[in-house]
Structure 1
Amino acid sequence: MRVKNKKAIKWISGGHFLIDMYSGFLNPILPFIAAHLGISLAVASCIISISQITSSITQPLFGFFADRFKKRFFLFWGIILAGIFLSTTTIAANVYVLALCIIFGSMGVSFFHPQASGMTNYFCIDANVTKKMSIYLTCGTFGFAIGPIISSFIVDFISFKALPFMAILGILYALSLFIFVPKIKNKQTKENLPKFYNVLFEIFSCKTTKLLVILSIIKALIQVTFLVLMPFLWKSLNYPPSKIGIIVFLFLTIGSIGTMLSSNVERFLGTKKTMILSLTMPLPFTLLFVLTYIKFPVLSIISFLILGFFIMLSTPINMTLAQKAMPKYKSTIAGLVGGFSFGVIGLFLPLIGYLSEILTIPHMLMILSIIPAGLSFIVNLLPNDLLHDGLPHRD
């Protein structure tokens, strides 16, 4: 049973903005941290891999807990860990300290998300669930988009040592959550509750959820690798941190517009066509970027921004279809589709970084963009009963 509490939803949504803002700190400034510590693209990719694995692969486990318990503990420590450790990456003395900062900060991100999603749902009345959840998700998307702007401008115009002061905001906000987000009484008993591995077995026994997790991994391949590799390419072209931060901000903002328009596009084109569009369109725009990034940089940046729109266009569709297929495990499904898929790509980032040094980043981008286009046929394997056919054609 849900309990209406608008104030709690606002504070949880604000926490989502804040923790995703911290998550967005690293991408635009990592090339400069790497140069400061004297590490290569391959080593930096290993560090990002640690971040993705820690924050994403563990999300299904915390999603499993979120399906059973609602605890402010996870919100509090999620923001504390992310705020302190992701803000202090710029003062890491060596690569090992940097890796530890990212591990603990990413663990905070993993703590927060499944619990926050479940509690937002709990504090909504039935008629407002979709609206309030969209506000919660939009806050996170905007936070992740604005994070690169904040970190890159602080590093570019103040100093590396100034970024850790951003942790103060997270600490104060986390303490405020205990005042404005009430406790939730847990009425569940431990009897007859499924084990985590039994839940995973049941989820992956469903053909639909298996296919949707695979599609989410394919989409994450483009989003994660492009956000990691592009800043290194732009740094090699002597772009300052602030300029890289602005480009990443615009990429994520336009991507969030694609996410918001997803349901409208789906209604017009149908579910399958929208998902295929999201998987295939990155290829031509990546090609345009590779052909223009040296002689026509403005055109290349525009193509990169449009790329973000198509990459994130079908994100809500994947999540909604998976939760429709297995409605009793919504938080665990959210952890798999929205978290685990990114963690899987994190496992391959060291190899991708190494190959990028050998093949060059532009060639690697082209190879990566071919993969989702080539595997888009998987969409046609989804059962039709969950899909929307789009608007009927008029003669």
Structure 2
Amino acid sequence: MASESALPTDKSSGVGDAGFQTEKILALAIAHFIHDVYSSFLAPLLPLLIEKLSMSLTQAGFLSTIMQIPALLNPYIGLLADRASVRYFVILAPAMTAVPMSLIGMAPSYGVLLILLFITGISVSVFHVPSPVMVADLSAARKGRGMSFYMTGGELARTVGPLVAVAAVSLFGLEDFYPVMIFGMLSSVWLYFKFRRVPVKQVSSTRKLSIPQTWRSLRHVLLPLTAILITRGFMHASLTAFLPTYIKMETGNLWLAGIALTLFEAAGVAGVLTAGSVSDGFGRRKTLLASLLGAPLFLFLFALTGGWLRVAALLVVGFTLLSTTPVMLALVQENARHSPAAANGLFMMISFIARSAVVVVVGFIADRIGLNATYLISAAMGLVGIPFVVMLPKK
């Protein structure tokens, strides 16, 4: 294995910068940004696709579902990545996502559109399952910092992606904007030359765990994280899915509704960029505890106040709530010694199931008691997650 592992694995450096490969981690963050820009095309182009294909709202809603169904295969994609070089998955994924997403405007029928989105969903999993493993290997002892850099690329893509899609369609038209796929293809070529000589650490051939074995070896981490993802999910769903609707109902101003979501996401970018590095020195559990205490308290403040105080509370909620992901990714990678990609696949599958289920529950509650009361309940549910942080391993 000595010839395969050119990446530093020295743990003695503590939380210093020794072994932290900034250039390559930033390259993966940029690739994450480019990849996720393409995967965010569906939402802004959905009204045009509905009109072109005469879809019902039910059919339109199923498009997002079909794109996320491959997430259920994440553990098996991770298992495959553990048995091959993970870098090839990451290198190919931007092109694999760019091509079908750039062709959705040309889809002649609803069935073809479903096929394109399902292929995209597979590619999204192929990228997101193994790429944190590469980041962890390249980060040495500073895994939190590396995950922060990596996740910042994805968070920025959520903001920029819809603008890119709208600009491309405005310039070329819905059926003719496919040339934008070139940037994703060039990204894959760039990644190939960037990482072809970097033999990213592979799983030891002496012990390759199955999915059930991976779960059993990591359940002391994954069980508490599952509870945290569910309780945190109430706050996340109520804000990301319903914040514009809530502000529009409160103010009657659609412009303010859009600004509110932008501020929330922008604060989240700052949180993601900060939290991982902080957790390297402060500790994963302490950082998660601070985030999961701050987010509910300021969500209470957001729901119960108005004016600039509400704006300030929303910024703090965005910063604390969205900052937890790089910390949890670092936790999983630190404890997944034998099957890191499979472990990340399990974590992402759990996250997908929890997010999908909770958003339905939040919508059901909001239909019956209103969004303001739903925010209060979501904040209370966030506090329920705090005891599970204590159950996580200290190191």
TM band (smaller chain): 0.7 to 0.9
Q: Note the 1:141-156 alignment, pairs <5 A.
A: 141-155=155-169
What is the letter of the counterpart of residue 91 of structure 2? F
Deviations for 1:354-386, whole angstroms, at most 9, x for unmatched residues? x59x939x9368537624523532321443684
Correspondence 1:370 to 2:377: yes
What is the letter of the counterpart of residue 15 of structure 1? A
Q: How far off is 1:197 after superposition?
A: 2.2
Q: Which structure 1 residue ranges, 5 or more long, are not aligned? A: 389-395
1:393 alignment counterpart: none
Q: 2:271 aligns with which of 231, 247, 258?
A: 258
SS in 1 for 2:323: coil
Contact 1:46 1:349 in 2 (8 A): no
Q: How far off is 1:221 after superposition?
A: 5.0
TM-score, normalization: structure 2? Answer: 0.73
> Would the alpha carbon gap of residues 219 and 65 (structure 1) be closer, same or farther in structure 2, given more than 3 Å must change?
farther
Aligned counterparts of 1:323 and 1:127: Cα–Cα separation in 2: 11
1:64 alignment counterpart: 79
2:11 alignment counterpart: none
> Would the alpha carbon gap of residues 189 and 258 (structure 1) be closer, same or farther in structure 2, given more than 3 Å must change?
closer
Correspondence 1:180 to 2:194: yes
Q: How far off is 1:198 after superposition?
A: 1.7
Q: Which structure 2 residue ranges, 5 or more long, are not aligned? A: 9-20
Contact 1:30 1:44 in 2 (8 A): yes
SS in 2 for 1:58: helix
Deviations for 1:285-311, whole angstroms, at most 9, x for unmatched residues? 3576xxx8xxx9x99988766653343
Of 267-276 and 110-119, more deviation after overlay is shown by 267-276
Aligned counterparts of 2:243 and 2:46: Cα–Cα separation in 1: 11
Contact 1:226 1:365 in 2 (8 A): no
Contact 1:53 1:343 in 2 (8 A): no
Q: How far off is 1:79 after superposition?
A: 1.3
> Would the alpha carbon gap of residues 202 and 344 (structure 1) be closer, same or farther in structure 2, given more than 3 Å must change?
same
Contact 1:220 1:342 in 2 (8 A): no
What is the letter of the counterpart of residue 90 of structure 2? L
Q: 2:34 aligns with which of 13, 18, 43?
A: 18
Contact 1:278 1:312 in 2 (8 A): no
Q: How far off is 1:127 after superposition?
A: 6.0
Aligned counterparts of 2:174 and 2:42: Cα–Cα separation in 1: 12
Aligned counterparts of 1:116 and 1:234: Cα–Cα separation in 2: 36
Contact 1:148 1:249 in 2 (8 A): no
Deviations for 1:21-47, whole angstroms, at most 9, x for unmatched residues? 222333344355445544455443332
2:367 alignment counterpart: 359
Contact 1:271 1:387 in 2 (8 A): no
Q: How far off is 1:19 after superposition?
A: 0.8
> Would the alpha carbon gap of residues 373 and 157 (structure 1) be closer, same or farther in structure 2, given more than 3 Å must change?
farther
Q: 1:313 aligns with which of 313, 318, 323?
A: 323
> Would the alpha carbon gap of residues 227 and 271 (structure 1) be closer, same or farther in structure 2, given more than 3 Å must change?
closer
Q: How far off is 1:110 after superposition?
A: 0.7
Q: How far off is 1:282 after superposition?
A: 3.6
> Would the alpha carbon gap of residues 100 and 270 (structure 1) be closer, same or farther in structure 2, given more than 3 Å must change?
closer
2:15 alignment counterpart: none
TM-score, normalization: structure 1? Answer: 0.73
Q: How far off is 1:141 after superposition?
A: 2.5
Deviations for 1:138-171, whole angstroms, at most 9, x for unmatched residues? 2232233321222234446764335433211111
Q: How far off is 1:210 after superposition?
A: 0.4
Contact 1:24 1:145 in 2 (8 A): no
2:14 alignment counterpart: none
Correspondence 1:46 to 2:77: no
Q: Note the 1:287-298 alignment, pairs <5 A.
A: none
> Would the alpha carbon gap of residues 96 and 262 (structure 1) be closer, same or farther in structure 2, given more than 3 Å must change?
same
SS in 2 for 1:69: coil
> Would the alpha carbon gap of residues 247 and 84 (structure 1) be closer, same or farther in structure 2, given more than 3 Å must change?
farther
Instruction: Give the number of aligned pairs.
Output: 372
Q: How far off is 1:17 after superposition?
A: 1.6
1:138 alignment counterpart: 152
1:112 alignment counterpart: 127
What is the percent sequence identity of the aligned residues? 20
Correspondence 1:202 to 2:202: no
> Would the alpha carbon gap of residues 23 and 234 (structure 1) be closer, same or farther in structure 2, given more than 3 Å must change?
farther
